[in-house]
């Protein structure tokens, strides 16, 4: 019928055309036993997702990986892995055409990190005391921005 979603499967990825002009892709993921899904980002051609093992009776991660899924071929590849039995947390992931960004809270430090998707190189862009909050990463592909709260003032 008019406006009814049309679905087609493309290598495991379900692509849905809605009647309103939006295209939705559903990317199935498989997680090992004991792992949970985390943050998701998209750069138009690749979907990225965090999966993690969380501390027992806690919210921090003790193991995490970031997987990239090519939306055309459905090929998936783990591009980042991290472990720390003391705990950490990865969130606020954002992607541009050649960079992947995320925030990691670990060892009482909040770091904004960047991965070069062409080389795999990871570097800290900025690090803060963990009492600083409200990072809120955003990117338009050219710039990465975030908000930092210092005391009662956001910058």
Q: What are phi and psi of 34, to 5 degrees?
A: 90, -5
Distance CA 147, CA 49 (A): 23
Q: Which residue has the higher pLDDT, 25 or 72?
A: 72
Residues 6 or more apart whose CB falls under 8 angstroms from that of 151 comprise none
- Assign residue 11 a region (left: φ > 0; alpha: ψ between -120 and 50; beta: otherwise): left
Structure tokens at 66: 């970031």
Among 40-44, 70-74, 106-110, 151-155, which is the least confidently predicted range? 151-155
pLDDT for 96 beyond 60: yes
Structure tokens at 81: 């892995």
Q: Which residue has the higher pLDDT, 11 or 56?
A: 56
Distance CA 85, CA 20 (A): 47
pLDDT for 9 beyond 60: no
Residue 15 host element (H or E): strand 13-17
pLDDT for 6 beyond 60: no
Q: Does the predicted TM-score (pTM) go above 0.85?
A: no
Q: How many Å separate Cα 34 from the centre of its chain? A: 19
Q: Half-sphere exposure (CA, 13 Å, Cβ side) for 152?
A: 0
Partnered with residue 152 across adjacent β-strands are: none
Q: What pLDDT score was predicted for residue 19? A: 66
Q: Residue 3 — very low, low, confident or very high, per pLDDT cuts 50/70/90?
A: very low
Quick one: average pLDDT of 107-116? 94
Quick one: average pLDDT of 40-48? 93
Q: Residue 113 — very low, low, confident or very high, per pLDDT cuts 50/70/90?
A: very high
Q: What are phi and psi of 152, to 5 degrees?
A: -105, 5
Residue in the block written with tokens 């990986």: 65
Report the relative pairing of strands 149-150 and 144-145 from DSSP bridges.
unpaired
Distance CA 101, CA 107 (A): 19
């Amino acid at each position: 019928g008019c406006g009814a979603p049309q679905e087609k499967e493309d290598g495991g990825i379900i692509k849905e055309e809605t009647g309103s002009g939006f295209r939705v892709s559903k990317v199935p993921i498989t997680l090992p036993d004991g792992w949970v899904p985390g943050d998701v980002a998209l750069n138009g051609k690749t979907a990225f997702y965090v999966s993690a093992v969380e501390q027992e009776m806690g919210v921090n991660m003790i193991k995490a990986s970031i997987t990239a899924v090519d939306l055309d071929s459905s090929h998936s590849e783990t591009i980042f892995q991290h472990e720390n039995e003391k705990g950490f947390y990865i969130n606020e992931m954002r992607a541009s055409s050649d960079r992947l960004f995320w925030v990691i809270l670990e060892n009482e430090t909040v770091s904004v990190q960047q991965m070069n998707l062409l080389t795999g190189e990871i570097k800290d862009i900025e690090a803060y005391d963990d009492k600083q909050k409200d990072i809120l990463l955003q990117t338009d592909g050219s710039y990465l921005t975030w908000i930092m709260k210092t005391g009662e003032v956001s910058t």
